[in-house]
Amino acid sequence: MAKRDYYEVLGVSKDVDAAELKKAYRRVAMKFHPDRNPDDPSAEEKFKEANEAYEILSDENKRASYDRFGHAGVDGQSGMGGGGGFSGGSFSDIFGDVFGDIFGGGRGGRGGPSRGSDLRYNLELNLEDAVKGTSVQIKVPTLVSCKTCDGSGAKAGSKPVTCTTCGGHGQVRMQQGFFSVQQTCPSCRGRGTIIADPCKSCNGQGRVEETKTLQVKVPAGVDTGDRIRLSGEGEAGDAGGPPGDLYVQVHVREHNIFKRDGADLYCEVPIDFVDAALGGELEVPTLDGRVKLKVPAETQTGKLFKLRGKGVTPVRGGGVGDLLCRVVVETPVNLTGKQKELLKEFQKTMQGGKYSPKQSSWFDGVKKFFGE
């Protein structure tokens, strides 16, 4: 009987990559495995056919020979075909392999040393330090490698022994029917070894609690939400594994004068109505000191004045921002009797003139609204 095309057997195209080829083989193998098809005599043949196809196509040299010469180029090279007895793996092997890929318990895998956890430290800064950069000292409670046992967890002069439950693999397989699931060994917790004589300093954990003092260099231009990574300053790894990292999370406190928006700074500048009407020169603050700001006559509340280059240089690069000053015309309070009389006299001189264009246009809008 003529053999079917191997690509056709697995339901894949000739340009299939290794990952897709493996997925296709698993689908076919699980579908026709004899354990799942006890009443179908043809299932075993189809399963063997899939095994043979995968064995050839998963090998680069055999696949190249098959692509060039067909079955004639690989006859005798397959250990699963050619009329031999059923030699495929059990269904539990296939299904266990699938679960291993999904849950990280690949066969033959052993726990061994694992990387330590990453840590986060919340750092509060004032605006000046965030904009100009600074260096701060922080204290971080963490787990560090035990110096007595050098992180092994075993007493000096002793060594961990192979776990008898998993045979040193760190994984055990539980099977029910044709289902097989690999999970972390409950005895050694995935290490593959058991500490028979634990270190007294760390009680066999290989790590001890300690508060580390670190110097953090904060670059200029950071903002709330930025993170500074300190490589290797996280928790020590388990069983002598490498340490994790420390992430310093930046939070910039609110400033009583300035507000930040990206690279720009904003501030409100209160002025009296005389300066607003006649114009003048004001001193305004910046992060680099005070500067003079010329206010033209007839300035209204909300007018923005831009001071170029007085903002922030972003930490990720780009041009320096600006400082935008918003003028707020302030109504005078605590007036004396004489001042009130002067204002009343001043008010009389305003009658009938176009001194308040916004007020006039607003009243015109009100009249139109009421149909007057």
Tell me the per-residue pLDDT of 189-240, one tens digit each, with 9 for 90 and over: 777 888 888 898 888 888 899 999 999 999 999 999 999 999 999 998 877 7
From CA 297, how far away is CA 41, in angstroms rounded? Answer: 100
285-325 residue pLDDT tens? 999 999 999 999 999 999 999 999 999 999 888 889 999 99
pLDDT-derived band at 80, boundaries 50, 70, 90: very low
The pLDDT of 107-122, averaged and rounded, is 72
Which domains are delineated in the chain?
6-89 (1.10.287.110), 119-252 (2.10.230.10), 259-365 (2.60.260.20)
Could you tell me the sign of the dihedral formed by the alpha carbons of 301, 303, 307, 313, in that order? positive
Tell the burial category of 291 from Cβ atoms under 10 Å away from its Cβ (0-12, 13-18, 19+). Answer: middle
45-61 residue pLDDT tens? 888 888 888 989 988 88
Tokens of 275: 């300066």
Classify each residue of 32-68 as buried b or exposed e, where b means 16 or more C-beta atoms within 10 Å of its C-beta. bbbeeeeeeeebeebbbbbbbbbbbbeeeebbebbee
pLDDT > 70? residue 83: no
From CA 92, how far away is CA 155, in angstroms rounded? Answer: 40
Instruction: Give the model's pLDDT for residue 177.
Output: 57
